[in-house]
Amino acid sequence: MPALLRIPTVLRPAMGGENTIAVEGTTVGAVLAQVTQRFPAVKGQLLNEDGTLHRFLNVYVNDDDVRYLGGVDAPVNDSDEITLLPAVAGGAW
């Protein structure tokens, strides 16, 4: 059974309007590579040019922050739930 990727509202228009999609891969990096291949418009919002996680994107595997699990090398298992959570940043008023 593949892992389930939860898509935040802000990314849904670029990802076919879906709120969840089934994904396969043994690491977060492999999953995000699959996602960016399928939905190229979100690549810059998910990954930096060097393949690391974008600094304004939080990624959780089963509620654990992947930055503490190895970043893009964090393991993903079948039936895991991966949540993308873009950081909210403000600007000058």
6 membership: H or E segment, kind and range = strand 3-6
Instruction: Render pLDDT for 17-61 as a digit per residue (tens, 0 to 9).
Output: 999 999 999 999 999 999 999 999 999 999 999 989 998 999 999
- Cα–chain-centroid distance for residue 80? 13
Separation between Cα atoms, residue 9 and residue 7, nearest integer Å: 7
Pairing label, strands 81-86, 3-6: parallel
Among candidate residues 92, 84, 87, 93, the one with its CA nearest the CA of residue 11 = 84
92 pLDDT above the threshold of 80 = no
Q: For tokens 């291949």, name the residue.
A: 37
Residue-level pLDDT at 93: 56
**Average pLDDT of the residues in 6-19:** 94
Global pTM value: 0.88
Domain with residues 3-86, CATH architecture: Roll (3.10)
